[in-house]
Amino acid sequence: MRKTPVTPQLLAVFAVSAIIATVTYFTYLHSKPTQSSNSDNLIVYNASYLGFSFFHSKSYSAISITDDPETIVVEPIEARKDTGAIIITARENEPGMTALDWLKSEYSGYNLSYGYTERKIGGVDALLLHWDDPRDIDGALLLTPDGKRLILISILRGDSNVNLFSEFNKILNTFSFEQ
């Protein structure tokens, strides 16, 4: 077996690798979403790494997707395959693009004939979307206060009678950005 000599350059590589691993680990520990409950049977989901938080019912769970931490799934704890869920996705926004610009762009795939309603969510202008039926609100599109991220909160309907609309409205009404 051939021995590799320990050179100052090799030691520097190991030192830098150790520093990067340590910083990554502590960043992960301190940026994990947190959940805590209050007396109203609500749990706060704090996604500080994305700059926002929201409340959901104790009968629901909220988790970020392991391979896509910018996507959060909120679903009934007693979820079955056909229950449906509320999906919250944050993505980088094109500089200067408004939520309405994005909605009208080729990227959205949204049928503008269904229309949209304007509303404030978390203190910012948002668009409520009507995907299947113009009478139902199925999603909300908003930008972070700095305009750098686009956030889509949407209902993924299932086949069961679980009322996701009530939970969706709870999330919209309690959604807030970190200052």
Q: What average pLDDT does the segment 102-128 reach?
A: 90
Q: Report the DSSP pairing between strands 52-57 and 116-121.
A: unpaired
In this predicted structure, what is the pLDDT of residue 27? 37
Q: What is the pLDDT of residues 53-112, one digit of tens each?
A: 999 999 999 999 878 889 999 999 886 777 889 999 999 999 999 999 999 998 888 888
Q: What average pLDDT does the segment 3-10 reach?
A: 45
- CA dist 101 and 113 (Å) reads 15
Query: Domain residues of the chain, as ranges?
Result: 33-177
CATH topology of domain 33-177: Protein Transport Mog1p; Chain A (3.40.1000)
Percent of the chain with pLDDT over 90: 49
Q: Report the DSSP pairing between strands 149-157 and 60-65.
A: unpaired
In this predicted structure, what is the pLDDT of residue 15? 36
- On the question of pLDDT at 178 being above 60, the answer is yes
Q: What is the pTM of this model?
A: 0.75
Q: What average pLDDT does the segment 123-129 reach?
A: 94
